[in-house]
């Protein structure tokens, strides 16, 4: 049971159990849970790297590596024990799933929304303005003729509701979404606006 010597900070004595119980029950659970934290934190770290959070991302990465080293040390010294390898793989899979849920819940940063429609977009623009969403509108030409191009930068957490409004007015409109790292010279909600139910006014 070499793994007892390779998982830092915790051992049978910590939990007051026999080495057998620790090795066959507690250690796989700890590896599984630690791997979930490791992968989930990596997902969050990547999110903050893409958002330009240069202090928060390295901090998360530091603790992520601490967890990873603790887990991998137990695995690499016990590659012949399938139950530990399965716990590692299962934790990785679960961590990816949980990481995606965390990404959906965080909804940090801004996104640029582009809408292309061949129909009159006046009602859509007015509706977005009524929801405090800034919109830039311009005429353009597509493959099939004249189109209307709408552009807006909004908080990521408002994306779903904005897309719903667009689909309500123009079900067949082309919509593209892109991450925005920074903006300048824009009009954004005051702090009290962000606490409202639909804090979506942005720029222009």
199 pLDDT higher than 80: no
Cα(81)–Cα(128) distance, integer angstroms:
58
Cα(70)–Cα(80) distance, integer angstroms:
18
Helix 56-76 and helix 82-106: axis angle, to 10°? 170
183 pLDDT higher than 50: yes
* pLDDT, tens only, 114-171: 999 999 999 999 999 998 898 999 999 988 899 999 999 998 889 999 999 999 999 9
193 pLDDT higher than 70: no
Backbone angles phi, psi at 113, to 5 degrees: -110, 125
| Cα-Cα-Cα-Cα dihedral sign, residues 115, 120, 122, 127 | negative
Residue 98: per-residue pLDDT: 95
109 pLDDT higher than 60: yes
Residue 9: per-residue pLDDT: 54
Helix 122-130 and helix 159-169: axis angle, to 10°? 150
Pairing of β 174-180 and β 136-142: unpaired
> Which element (helix H / strand E) includes 66?
helix 56-76
Polymer length in residues for the chain: 204
Average pLDDT of the chain to the nearest whole number = 82
76 pLDDT higher than 80: no
Cα(20)–Cα(27) distance, integer angstroms:
10
* pLDDT: which is higher, 5 or 174: 174
Predicted TM-score (pTM) of this structure: 0.65
Backbone angles phi, psi at 147, to 5 degrees: -135, 170
**Could you give the C-alpha distances from 152 to 31, 105, 118, 157, in angstroms and in order?**
45, 22, 18, 14
Q: Which domains does the chain have, with CATH numbers?
A: 2-106 (no CATH), 110-194 (3.30.70.120)
* pLDDT, tens only, 9-31: 566 676 777 878 877 888 889 88
Q: Which two tokens stand for residue 8?
A: 């830092």
Residue 10: per-residue pLDDT: 62
* pLDDT: which is higher, 2 or 68: 68
Residue 201: per-residue pLDDT: 43
């Amino acid at each position: 049971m070499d793994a007892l010597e390779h998982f830092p900070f915790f051992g049978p004595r910590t939990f007051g159990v026999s080495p057998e119980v620790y090795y066959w029950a507690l250690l796989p659970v700890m590896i599984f849970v630690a791997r979930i934290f490791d992968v989930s934190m990596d997902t969050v770290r990547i999110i903050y790297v893409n958002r330009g959070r240069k202090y928060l991302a390295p901090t998360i990465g530091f603790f992520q590596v601490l967890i990873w080293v603790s887990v991998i040390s137990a695995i690499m010294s016990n590659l012949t024990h399938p139950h530990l390898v399965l716990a590692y793989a299962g934790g990785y899979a679960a961590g990816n799933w949980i990481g995606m849920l965390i990404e959906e819940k965080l909804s940090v940063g801004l996104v640029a929304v582009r809408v292309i429609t061949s129909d009159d977009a006046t009602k859509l623009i007015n509706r977005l303005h009524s929801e405090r969403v800034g919109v830039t509108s311009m005429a353009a030409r597509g493959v099939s003729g004249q189109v209307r191009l709408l552009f807006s930068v909004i908080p990521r957490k408002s994306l779903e509701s904005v897309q719903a409004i667009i689909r309500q007015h123009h079900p067949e409109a082309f919509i593209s979404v892109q991450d925005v790292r920074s903006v300048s010279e824009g009009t954004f909600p005051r702090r009290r606006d962000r606490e409202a139910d639909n804090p979506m006014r942005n720029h222009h």
